[in-house]
Structure 1
Amino acid sequence: MSALEGALVRWRRLRACYRYANLASHHVLGFTIKLVLLLYFGLALLFLALRYAILPNIDLYKGDIEAAAGRALGNRVTIAHLEAGWQGIHPVLTLGDVRLIDRGGRQVLALPEVTAALSWWSLAAFEPRLHALEVRSPQLDMRRGRDGIISVAGIRLDPDKRDDGRGADWLLRQREIVIRGGRIDWTDELRGRPTLALTDVTLALLNRFGGGHRFALRATPPRALGQPLDVRARFRHRFGARPSDIARWKGELYADLRGADLVAWKQHVDLPFQIASGRGSVRAWLSVDQARVAGFTADLALADVNARLGTTLEPLELARISGRLAAREEMLPGKDEGKPTFGAHGHTISLTDFSVTTRDGQALPPATLEQTWRPARDGRPETGELSARQLDIGALAALAGYLPLPPQQRQMLLDYAPRGRLLDVAAEWEGRYPALRSYRVHGDVAGLAINAQPARAAQPARGDQPAIPARPATPGFQNLSGSIDASQNGGSVTVDSTALVLHMPAWFAEPALPLDRLDLKARWNFDPGKQLLVEVERLAFAQGTLSGSLSGRHSLPLLPGGGAAGPGTADITGTLDGFAINSVGRFLPLGTPEHLAGWLGTALQGGTLRDAHLRLRGDLAGFPFRATGGVNAVLERARGEFHAAGRLENARLEYAPDHRHADGTPLWPVAENINGRIEFDRARMEIRGDTLRTMGVALSNVKAVIPDLGAHEKMMLEIDGNAAAPMQEFLRYVAASPVPEWIGHFLDETRAGGNARLGLRLRMPLAHLPDTKVQGSLQLLGNDISLFPELPQLTAAEGKIEFWERGVALNGVGASFLGGPLGLSGGTQKDGSIAIRLHGILSAEGMRRTAPVPALRRLAQRLSGSTPYTGSVVVREGRRLVTLESNLAGLGMELPVPLNKPEADSLPLRFVLAGEPTVGNVARDEIRLALGEGVAARYLREKTGRAPWTVQRGGIGINVPAPQPDSGMMIHVDMRALNVDGWIAAGKAIAGEGEGSGSDGAGPGFAQYVMPTVIGGRVGELTIGERRLADVILGATHLRDTWQANLHSRHASGYVTWAETGGGQGVGKVTARLASLVIPESSEAEV
């Protein structure tokens, strides 16, 4: 029951409300109908009054109309005559010769004819309102006063004075105003410029309810300024605001000016830059908001422009400008209203199909560019945006010096010096360069180039400048084409470039790296304070015959304050082919130890690396992951891996490139035509030459190893090699190395035949190459060796000659010397000298067969049997000392007395040759010979270059010491009997026919050792010329085949001359001048 009662109560209330609403609506509807009928009949009466009472008598109201128009316009108005009519339902007034007089009494407007159609809204507005106003052939005065206020026909447009501008308000409330065939005179009193007269003016002003205004103007300026001008505008103001308050206007202004002279227009229009010349056409749109320029768009086609866009900038001289230029201001509602603020709150500047050509030929091809900037405010950082399409940034950067850019942007352009084309690129950033807080860049580029940038340390905040974080060095490049999408958190890049040049001065001593082709696809992720991760999906490049590829990833840990916390970890795989080995120095990082970089850059002098592979994995703090072996080997391999290997073709290696001989030749002979492999295994580098040549010698299995690339100052280069070649080639190799210095030039004059084997091992500290250690061995294989030109040749030599950086050693060396066996042993001594011990057997038969000098072979004809001998060869500080000793037991000698000896007898022999160091290409030595106790000889010799030895002076003493003449050859004897005829015959036989016929007896053959120029002595019995003389004291000289002697004996005393026969036949001619002559009875028959 209670629910039903509640429903009834609600129903009664609803019916009551309905009755009350129905009654009220009837009353309102009735009142409205009555009001409408009243207005209708009132308007009808007014219409009838106008049509039949007022308009036919309009002249009676001319004064009232002048007064009403004056009140509306704020100036005095005069009307010469007045007519009335109708245009539809609107009354029309035609006014003739209307003039507007300002408060100063100046005529500011003259209207020959004005047609005004009244609007019925005048009744509601309580002021005259026009449906349309048409003015023909007016003369309008517009001026800017010295106070900066603009007046139009005497109507001041001063937004700061509420009591002014009534005329402007009234005009802007009229529905339509049209001016035809008029003239406008613009006078700028503020700038003191001449009046600008615009003729053939056609103007239309359309005002709509709610504050909308449209404006159109066509006019012809003076011929010097250009072609007719077309200006249009569309503005709005807030509802209820004064229409004449232009500080509250918002809208757009359009202008089209063709064939304009910019310098001439400068007299009448304020330009934001200085201009000296320029002509062309401009079509522009200007957006205005609250008296501020909110945007500007201009289509330009200009020529011969000379403008200075800033007081501190150089003039910009352009042959042509075309394209669209636009600018837009960032507006803040309710702030800086009515004040010009362009750029204060941010702006956007854009170029569309914009091209520029300077007078010196620089051209900016048609490009599209948009740049937006917003200042820092409300705790938010400064921001910027940039987008470009088909933009040649090189040409644009070249013009940057003429443009009014902010200092940080100008510095950025100077630092990076960008060149190339941006095909479709967009960028945005927060912060001010160089302290950018965030950024993003994405788009496509072609032929892009920027300068490399050095690393930058972190800088603290200073004043209003925020702190600048550290920045690593960045590479530069030329002719880069591809796409990029990058931000402060990471990004990706794709490169497909030809004729590319990379610039990496922070990484390499030679920063420019040209590439014929580069194909790259990579991405990276940057987590500030944590890590930088770079992943290369594909990298392929080519330069000439060089090609390579790379893929992998590199993670770099970062410190919270900026900078790297270490080298990071890497996992990289790569290949390389066709690499020119002599260019390795260009690719060495700047952090490479100086001695290693110097050696690699100059030691590897040629050849090509083929089929190279690279594998790098692990924490780079442990690079190159030295292997210590032992139980840690497995852990080391897990910690990291570095391996690179490739094949060498025709490589060239100079072991010590920074060290040379005095004549500039390499310290060690260069290894050439190396074919083998190069391998980096962790810290070990090995170059293995399977085949190579050095100074014509073919080598094999040569290895050049640096065991530890990370040893720095202790880095060692180890070279091992073997060779089998002619012995003489090895001697040439040794002569071109430092070995001669180490062994006292012992082998300088050595010559050899036959093949031999050479093993060589070098240990070269790269930080101090003079401390190089050498171990070498020369295996003799039956070689024929001539140690010195003055010594007979060693034949069929066997054994091993070992040498090192401080000397040489002969081990088990045996040979045949003058047909008999010879053993050699010894080497370098503690004092640095070289001492070689000799022991052998001399045989007459062997001498006859093997003696290299004919005189020795002829001497051997007078010998028989054999005898042992010993000797030594000592070399000390360039001096040679050769000693031979024997008792000659077993050797028979068929020579005149005192050198005749049966085989069984002993006759001690000692031979000493002492050589002095060569000075000025002249060599000197001394020979001493002792035979038994009765014969001694001494020779001083000299030779120049490779000429034969020449005896400068010498002497033979028999039973007396060897004489020492100042020059020539001298024999001094003291004997019981001497057969001169026998010695002459023997000497000629040994020397060879005609060899002893030199004019001075000291020729270069064997005769110079035995044929005297002076003879002196005492002989008990002398046989000469087949005559015997007793108790002879003789002094003889030999000159030009003639002997001259002073003789004193028991048989004769006096002066004797003996002229030898030219052919050596017979005894020749003897001439004597004797003081006494005794002829024995037994010889009388021969006289």
Structure 2
Amino acid sequence: MPLPAAVGERLAEHPVRGLIEHVEARWSGPLDAPQDWRVQTKVSGLAVGARPFPPRPDGVPVEGVPGIEGATVELQATPSGGTASLAVKDGALEFPGVFAEPRIPVAEFKAATRWRVKDQQIVLDVDQLALRNQDLTGSFKGRWQTLPGQQGAKRFPGFLDLTGAFSRADGARVYRYLPLGIPADARDYVRHAIRKGDARDVAVRIKGDLYKVGDHPPEPGSEFRFAGQVSGVTMAYVPRMLQHEGEAPWPALEGLAGELIFDHNTMQVKNASGRVQGHPGWQFTRVQAGIADLTDTRVLVEAEGRGTLASALGIANASPVGGFIGHALDKATASGDATLRLKLDLPVAHIEKAKVEGRVTLAGNDLRITPDTPQLAQAQGAVAFSDTGFSIEDARARVLGGEARLSGGTPTGKASDGHGRSPVELHVAGTASAEALREMTEWAPLPSVARQISGSTAYEARIGFHSGQPEVLVTSNLLGVALDLPAPLTKPADATWPLRFESGPVAGTEGRTRFRFALADELLVEYEEDREREGGASHVRRGVIGVGAQALPQLALPTSGVMARLQAPRLDVTAWNEALSSMFSGGQPSEASAPSDSAFMPSVWSLRTQELVLNDRTLHDMTAKGTREGRVWRADVQARELAGRLDYTEDASGRASKLVARLSRLSIPAHTEPAGAEHAKAEAQGAPAPSSSAGQIPSLDIVADDFELRGKKLGRLEVNAINHDIASAKQGGRCRHGS
């Protein structure tokens, strides 16, 4: 074709392919400088290669010359203007320096334009522009013109006034159409945050100098806005790529529906609602999110939601919030509904500086912090949390049968545990009733002991969590509570006895826990247990039991085993046996009353009392020291009435099986107590003594070198007897006679 040399060179540098179906050209004057001209042509299969330009010295990309593939063009042009129609079928558009992926495949593209030229000013009217590909469908119209009052290259990239809409868009591909003028971290955030979703009727409005239209703050009078409704969106507002390895993920929102807006250099999600992925019991009814300046990507999220409190706990524990609150709620269970307000401030480039604020409002929920802490019933109040911890605000609940006030959280000024977890302390102050203590089955053997308790009393409790391990402290003066137990643990309701209960991990150990119970100056119980990782089973490592004011001083845990020390002016074994029977078997003798774990029983013990009452007999000035091995109890005893060694064996159910006694002396005096008269009366009537039970008498093997009966010296005593009731039960009803 007779083209000017400059045009030929340009075509060589910028390849063009296609079929010229028709061309008609007229001009007057030289071809390279015509005085007037007119061109009319149609080209099909047109492909014009894009021409990228190098970036600026500061790295900012420069828009290149666009390219096109698979186009059909019909053109009429004169020096003063013209018209053109463009249609692309299964082709592509390419915009180097504009998008990170410059080539945009299109299934269909149509444009109808007309332009006019006056001096150096060009005005292009787009009467129709329609685009459809796998990601979106849209139609637009508008006007582009060179910048008024400018000459040469300063006229470009020009002024655009465009209006239109995307009737359909794939939310997961939004990032692909964000221009390179938006920083890479903002584009990457949108790419990883919006995982799926659909947009409908996205209104598009662009007006202004194309060189400045995306500036922040925007030029006065300029517009750059994409706004439409989205649905079915899955949004990871904190994408995993922003988090450190091993950090708990923030749960994504799914089924999100609302309005998505890009306005100049900002992004907003307004009036949205959605669910929390993996937690179907929770719904966010109002979500506002946005980036105020895409050149400094800082994501702000405000959300309000409601759902089951159990779901809210699941969300907190599975997200970084669990670390913020020291994993205090990892084992918590709850029922009922709650509401949540949440604020997130997420600087994308420095996500470690993220800020979190939240508030959960309780409305009559039942909550249990750990499996072995009491239920907080009908809880009212609020729990506020942040990236630095949490606090309980004006909370009330029914605990242990009475009203209680709750407070606490993450104390300020206390150091973390070295893993970024701050200590947590909860405080409870309320009233506990004996009836409620009987229902605390997870605090065995407290429910059994509570059978001998009546009334109610005030208490204070502190539950701490250090390195995720609970520590419990309960204190009370027990005013208002009566203890129906034998001496020395008999207490009227109007007396004050200080009580202190502690439990928690043993410092400097792994998997070892302790609990300590102290009651006034009369009782001390303390154990250490080793808990296995698998299954959570525990084994007693050591323990100590002290009964009586004189037994407690200098009482400490032994190196191993369980030590017991009993020291009181009077110990009524019969009364204690009846009390224990009432506590652990409801007053009915039963094999179930046997201890479930003999490891809690003492392996070494000592006893000192002025009077030891056993059935209708009393031993005076009694001292004893002994051991236990399995079901065998051994003791060296010394009293006014006897001296020597006793071996006592229990059967598998905990009942008396055999008593072996080797005594240097044994004295059975005449009855002097009222109990003796009652015993004598019973004997005279041929009935057993009131407190005796034939089924409880063990087999006997007794030798006493010096035996005295009611003041008479009878010399050596040997007794060998078998309880026929027990023997027949063990041998299927057959009696075995003994001597």
Give your verdict on TM over 0.5: yes
Aligned to 1:761: 343
d(CA) in 2 for partners of 1:698, 1:976: 62
Q: Secondary structure at the match of 2:447?
A: helix
d(CA) in 1 for partners of 2:80, 2:560: 97
Alignment equivalent of 1:448, drawn from 37, 42, 46: 46
Alignment equivalent of 2:529, drawn from 933, 941, 945: 941
Are the structure 2 counterparts of residues 524 and 844 from structure 1 closer, same or farther at C-alpha, using a change threshold of 3 Å?
same
> Could you list the runs of 5+ residues in structure 2 that have no partner in the other structure?
28-35, 57-61, 415-422, 672-708, 711-716, 720-739
Aligned to 1:859: 449
Question: Does structure 2 retain, via aligned residues, the 8 Å contact 1:690–1:701?
Answer: yes
> Could you list the runs of 5+ residues in structure 1 that have no partner in the other structure?
1-370, 375-381, 386-407, 430-437, 459-470, 629-635, 1003-1007
Aligned to 1:828: 410
Alignment equivalent of 1:901, drawn from 491, 494, 507: 491
Question: Does structure 2 retain, via aligned residues, the 8 Å contact 1:938–1:962?
Answer: no
1:551 aligns with 2:148: no
1:1001 aligns with 2:598: yes
Aligned to 2:94: 503
Aligned to 2:68: 477
- Compute the TM-score of the two structures, normalised by the length of structure 1: 0.54
Aligned to 1:68: none
Aligned to 1:887: 477
Are the structure 2 counterparts of residues 525 and 843 from structure 1 closer, same or farther at C-alpha, using a change threshold of 3 Å?
same
Q: Secondary structure at the match of 2:497?
A: coil
Q: CA deviation at 1:619?
A: 4.1
- Compute the TM-score of the two structures, normalised by the length of structure 2: 0.77
Alignment equivalent of 2:624, drawn from 1034, 1049, 1062: 1034
Aligned to 1:956: 545
1:737 aligns with 2:334: no
Amino acid at match of 2:50: A
Deviations 1:978-1027 (A, max 9, x none): 3455545545654556567568613xxxxx4xx43443344444456886
1:709 aligns with 2:300: no
Amino acid at match of 2:45: G
Aligned to 2:659: 1070
Q: CA deviation at 1:872?
A: 2.4
Q: Which stretch has the larger CA shift, 931-940 or 887-896?
A: 931-940
Deviations 1:139-196 (A, max 9, x none): xxxxxxxxxxxxxxxxxxxxxxxxxxxxxxxxxxxxxxxxxxxxxxxxxxxxxxxxxx
Q: CA deviation at 1:757?
A: 1.4
Q: CA deviation at 1:1064?
A: 4.3
Q: CA deviation at 1:724?
A: 1.9
Question: Does structure 1 retain, via aligned residues, the 8 Å contact 2:247–2:320?
Answer: no
Question: Does structure 1 retain, via aligned residues, the 8 Å contact 2:452–2:583?
Answer: no
Q: Which stretch has the larger CA shift, 446-455 or 856-865?
A: 446-455
**Identity, % of aligned positions:** 29
Aligned to 1:211: none
d(CA) in 2 for partners of 1:843, 1:562: 92
Aligned to 2:726: none
Aligned to 2:730: none
Alignment equivalent of 1:929, drawn from 497, 517, 541: 517
The 5 A counterparts of 1:33-48 are: none
Are the structure 2 counterparts of residues 1062 and 420 from structure 1 closer, same or farther at C-alpha, using a change threshold of 3 Å?
same
d(CA) in 1 for partners of 2:181, 2:135: 28
Question: Does structure 1 retain, via aligned residues, the 8 Å contact 2:63–2:96?
Answer: no
d(CA) in 1 for partners of 2:78, 2:97: 23
Are the structure 2 counterparts of residues 856 and 487 from structure 1 closer, same or farther at C-alpha, using a change threshold of 3 Å?
farther
Q: Which stretch has the larger CA shift, 700-709 or 416-425?
A: 416-425
Q: Secondary structure at the match of 1:454?
A: coil
Deviations 1:225-280 (A, max 9, x none): xxxxxxxxxxxxxxxxxxxxxxxxxxxxxxxxxxxxxxxxxxxxxxxxxxxxxxxx
Question: Does structure 1 retain, via aligned residues, the 8 Å contact 2:65–2:96?
Answer: no
Question: Does structure 1 retain, via aligned residues, the 8 Å contact 2:372–2:443?
Answer: no
Question: Does structure 2 retain, via aligned residues, the 8 Å contact 1:786–1:794?
Answer: yes
Q: Which stretch has the larger CA shift, 729-738 or 905-914?
A: 905-914
Aligned to 1:718: 300
Aligned to 1:839: 429
Deviations 1:5-64 (A, max 9, x none): xxxxxxxxxxxxxxxxxxxxxxxxxxxxxxxxxxxxxxxxxxxxxxxxxxxxxxxxxxxx
Are the structure 2 counterparts of residues 384 and 717 from structure 1 closer, same or farther at C-alpha, using a change threshold of 3 Å?
closer
Question: Does structure 2 retain, via aligned residues, the 8 Å contact 1:669–1:733?
Answer: yes
Q: Secondary structure at the match of 1:768?
A: helix
Q: CA deviation at 1:936?
A: 2.3
Q: Which has the higher contact order (CA 8 A, sep 6+)?
A: 2
Q: Secondary structure at the match of 1:801?
A: strand
d(CA) in 1 for partners of 2:194, 2:593: 59
| Larger Rg belongs to | 1
Aligned to 2:562: 969
Aligned to 2:355: 773
Q: CA deviation at 1:853?
A: 5.0
Q: CA deviation at 1:840?
A: 0.6
d(CA) in 2 for partners of 1:698, 1:578: 29
Q: CA deviation at 1:1037?
A: 3.6
* Aligned-residue RMSD, C-alpha: 3.8
Aligned to 2:667: 1079
Q: Secondary structure at the match of 2:299?
A: strand
The 5 A counterparts of 1:1014-1033 are: 1014-1023=604-613, 1028-1033=618-623
Q: CA deviation at 1:621?
A: 5.8
Question: Does structure 2 retain, via aligned residues, the 8 Å contact 1:963–1:971?
Answer: no
Q: CA deviation at 1:1055?
A: 4.0
Question: Does structure 1 retain, via aligned residues, the 8 Å contact 2:475–2:498?
Answer: yes
Question: Does structure 2 retain, via aligned residues, the 8 Å contact 1:426–1:441?
Answer: yes
Deviations 1:1044-1077 (A, max 9, x none): 3344444444443322233445x332223x2523
Q: Secondary structure at the match of 1:778?
A: strand
Aligned to 1:520: 111
Q: Secondary structure at the match of 1:473?
A: coil
Q: CA deviation at 1:573?
A: 0.7
Amino acid at match of 1:550: F
Aligned to 1:257: none
Q: CA deviation at 1:786?
A: 1.0
d(CA) in 2 for partners of 1:940, 1:723: 44
The 5 A counterparts of 1:114-513 are: 371-372=1-2, 382=5, 416=14, 418-424=16-22, 443-455=41-53, 473-484=64-75, 492-513=83-104
